[in-house]
Structure 1
Amino acid sequence: MKICGYNLLVPDITEEITPESPEFTIFMIGLNAGRRNFKTGVFVRGSVTDNEVINFGNWLIPYGEVLQVIKFTSTVISDNEVELRSPFKIVRLNLD
């Protein structure tokens, strides 16, 4: 999904990822938009080796942190609808 020039990865998670999942650990990363670093320390749940990212589509990155980086606010419209708003764009997402 692309919102206001930023690519957002929205994984299709078909299995539940729990804190006990052995392949996932919690560690700190920086969040970038393009070449610009917006957040230097954000905790994520994911998996990496020395030189490779593993199963990136299922990483858990804090929703609020991503919204701050892309300068959006989030409003819950109903149980299955969310509105993302920036100074330039309003997007409504159906979560079904």
Structure 2
Amino acid sequence: MLKTTIATAIGMFALAPLANASSDAAWNALFAKANGTCIGQSRMVSPEATAPVVFDDVIGKIAILLREKNPESKKMVNMICLYDKKSGKASIAEYQWLAQ
């Protein structure tokens, strides 16, 4: 009985890290939702987007940079989007490079 209990406990501790890990499919679904939300809020037609930058769970945000050439002015428009993983809401703002 004691050996069974110890073996069960060891098995549970060995599998515990796997319970907290997210699958690739779950991350891909989260990134797709963040991209879709950010692109939708940007009102850009067909922007280029960076790979998501994931901040730690204390911050709980994903950052995505978007850019697109404005068809009228021919200037590049740069946007940064912060997607909140808990609420599913995004904040977006235009930014400029310091050298420009």
- TM bucket, shorter chain: under 0.3
More strand by share: 1
What is the TM-score when the length of structure 2 is the normalising length?
Answer: 0.21
What is the TM-score when the length of structure 1 is the normalising length?
Answer: 0.22
